[in-house]
Amino acid sequence: MPFQMVAMIFMSIALFLVSALLAPKPDIEDARPAGLGDFQVPTADETRPVPIMWGTIDIKGPNVIWYGDLSTVKIKKKIKTGMFSSKKITVGYRYFIGVDIVLCYGPIDRLTRLEA
């Protein structure tokens, strides 16, 4: 009786390992980076006035006269694809972009905050 019980336990473990090794691997697609045309950037217009400011003020829509120099850095994550295997996939991207902005006429004493 105990021999049959031990044999059943070993058989269960062996079948579990065989099924884990023979299971199909999931088809995981990496994230794709965005291009420069995928970003929405306000543009400068000849008819748009350049503001004159005094004191502390929030500018809601500055004149963007140039943007470019896009670079991306992959954000990778290690995921399990099976019982004994794992794979590193790209889950997203961190974007860096250069922007020239016209804020206002005259000298600026201090720029306290810039938000995207």
Residue 77 forms beta bridges with which residues? 89
Q: For residue 9, tell me if it sits in a domain.
A: no
Q: For residue 85, tell me if it sits in a domain.
A: yes
Q: What pLDDT is stored for residue 47 in this prediction?
A: 75
Q: For residue 22, tell me if it sits in a domain.
A: no
Domain count, the chain: 1
Q: Domain of residue 80: give its range.
A: 29-102
Identity of the residue numbered 74: K
Q: For residue 51, tell me if it sits in a domain.
A: yes
Q: What are phi and psi of 36, to 5 degrees?
A: -65, -30
pLDDT tens-digit readout, 9-61: 888 888 888 877 777 776 777 777 777 777 766 766 667 788 888 888 887 77
Q: For residue 97, tell me if it sits in a domain.
A: yes
Q: For residue 56, tell me if it sits in a domain.
A: yes
Going by C-alpha positions, the residue among 89, 76, 74, 77 that lies closest to residue 25 is 89
pLDDT tens-digit readout, 11-22: 888 888 887 777
Q: How many other C-beta atoms lie within 10 A of the C-beta of residue 96?
A: 9
